[in-house]
Every structure is written in structure tokens, then in C-alpha cells.
Structure 1
Amino acid sequence: MNTPIIRLIEKRDNPQIAKVIRSVLIDFNVPKVGTAYADAALDCMFETYQKPKSSYFVVEENNKIIGGAGIAQLDNYQGNVCELQKMYFLPEARGRGVGMQMMEFCLAKANEFGFEKIYLETMEYMVHAQTLYKKAGFEYIESAIGDTGHYSCPVHMLKKL
């Protein structure tokens, strides 16, 4: 088994990363409405992250995409805050430190872009993800900020950069 490589998304990755994200969401029985599952961006992730101050990274192992995560300006919010977006990993990527490595890539990029804070939304039962977020310095906040359209995600977290 090769060491996983974290790199910026390429156009050719679109079908694989869409499949990874949908697969993970189905595995976790996430609602298909009001979550990332319904996002039009899933099938055009490369194009979605070509806008300023946004990046999406994929994890590749043995020529297969096994996960990804990105950052972009928080939608419908006036402050200098970005959102950690679409951070999902297939079972073979989990428990190997890949999530923390990916988090470091995203936080470094958020700092490089000059954001002051980074926000995320998740499901209450995604406890392993929340453990990673807390380890990375995220704290729970009472309610959503901005409007991502993910009204089915009840857990909101924020980190100062």
C-alpha cells in the first residue's frame, strides 16, 4: 500500500470525489435534503473551487481518491470567515491520521488567504469527525452563521485562525 498523497483537486477527479462524498453520506445515513448530498457542486467540485480564496484537496492512494476537504468563503456572511467544506473520507482512509493531515492543509490555506475564522457544520452522530475538529481547535457555537443551505446539520463549530 502506498502512502496517501494530499493534493489540489484536478478536473479529472470530479467523478471520483462525487462518488466518495455520496458514499460516505449514504454510509452515515445523512439526510439527502438540507445537507451536502443535495449540493449541485458535488458533480463539479474542481470548477466550484476555482473562485478566489477557495481550495479543495483530495487524498489519493493507489490512483484512487479516498477522501477530500476544502475551504471557501462562508456563504451569505459578511465577516472574514471561511468554511471547512465537504470533508469526507472512505473507510480505508479513516483512523490513519489522514484527517488531521487534511485539516492541516486546509487550515494553512485558510491562513494563507487571510481569513480570521473557520466555520463548519456537521451531524450530531459524526462523533469521530467532531473529535478531530476539537483536536484541531474548533469549539462548539450555539447556532449557524451565514447560510450554507445545510439546515439539516445541527452541529456548528468555529475556530479562530
Structure 2
Amino acid sequence: MEHLKIRPIQKADNPFVAEMIRAVLIENNAPKTGTAYEDENLDALYEFYQEESSAYFVLTDGVKIYGGAGIASLEGSSVICELQKMYFLQEVRGKGLGMQMMRKCLDFAQAANYKKCYLETLPSMLAAQKLYQKSGFVYLEERLGNTGHFSCTTWMLNEF
């Protein structure tokens, strides 16, 4: 899959990224409420990630969007960011691309002067949790902030 590249999201990517995220959530039998599925900004991620301290990256071959992940400030904090909406289509999973995306996001977070990175995920997304652990994330006993993702009951944190 050498033809795949990670690049910043573009406005034209919006509908394709939203479709990809919803498809992955449906594939994983995730609840539609309390997850990214119903986020108000899901259909306008390009616009949402225009803040200086935020970014969203897509994995693409130039035609199709195969995955994506974003970094944005955790509400109410200037030193903790959140890894957001990291999803990949099944056909690209297990090829090391998630680790490349994670590195891109964490490098961005550190360059933006964040000190910690938080994430929330579903308990059933075990492969994702393994990737997060390999990237330095540890489990937390309780959630940080108020993301609105009440169905995501696994919380993790990476301190740089």
C-alpha cells in the first residue's frame, strides 16, 4: 500500500471522511448515540480542524479516503489534546498505517505544545487499544473533559 499518503484534510474530503467513519462504526456495531457517529461536526471536519492547535489527517490514494485521525484541544484545557476520530477501513488495517497516522498526530500535538494526549474508545475496539498502548497510552479510571461520547467507556492518556 505504498501508494497511500497521509495528508491534511481538504474541504472536498468532508463527505468521504464522514462516510468512512460512519461505515467503520456500523461495521463495529457501535452505538450511534454517544459516539462520533452523531457528532455535529462530522460532516464538516475540514472546517472544525481549522484552529491553529488542531489538525485532521487523512489516509488516501488520491481518490479514496481509507482512514483519518485528528488532534484538537480537550475542552477546557490548553495542555491536553484529544486524539479524535481515528478510524480506518478494514482493507488497510494491520499494515502499519495506523502507527504512521498515530506518529503524525502525536508529532503535531507535541509541536503544538500539548503535554498530554487523551482519547476515548469503545471497549470492543481491542485492536485499536493495542495500537494506542504501543504508542504510549495508558488506561485511565475515569474520563477527562466532556466530549459527549458517553458510549465510549475506555479512556486512555499519553504524557509526552
User: TM-score category by the smaller chain?
Assistant: over 0.9
1:91-144, Cα deviation, whole Å (9 max, x unpaired)? 111011100000000000000000000000000110000000000000001000
Q: How does 1:45-56 map to 2 (within 5 A)?
A: 45-56=45-56
Match of 1:108 in 2: 107
Query: SS state of the match for residue 25, structure 1?
Result: helix
Partner of 1:64: 64
Scaled by the length of structure 2, the TM-score of the pair is 0.97
In 1, the alpha carbon distance for the partners of 2:80 and 2:135 equals: 17
RMSD of equivalent CA atoms: 1.1
- Distance, in Å, in 2 between the alignment partners of 1:160 and 1:56 is 20
Structure 1 residue runs of 5 or longer lacking an equivalent are none
- Aligned mates of 1:110, 1:61 — CA distance in 2: 25
Instruction: Give % identity.
Output: 52
Partner SS, residue 40 of structure 1: coil
Task: Name the residue aligned to 1:143.
Answer: 142
Mapping 1:27-106, distance limit 5 Å: 27-61=27-61, 63-75=63-75, 77-78=76-77, 80-106=79-105
Quick check: 2:78–2:114 contact (8 Å CA) kept in 1? no
Q: Number of matched residues?
A: 160
The TM-score normalised by the length of structure 1 is 0.96
Unpaired runs of 5+ in structure 2?
A: none
Q: Could you say what secondary structure the match of 2:56 adopts?
A: strand
- The answer (yes or no) to whether the contact 2:117–2:157 under 8 Å persists in 1 is yes
Q: Which whole-Å CA distance do the structure 2 matches of 1:2 and 1:87 have between them?
A: 20
Return the letter of the residue paired with 1:147.
N
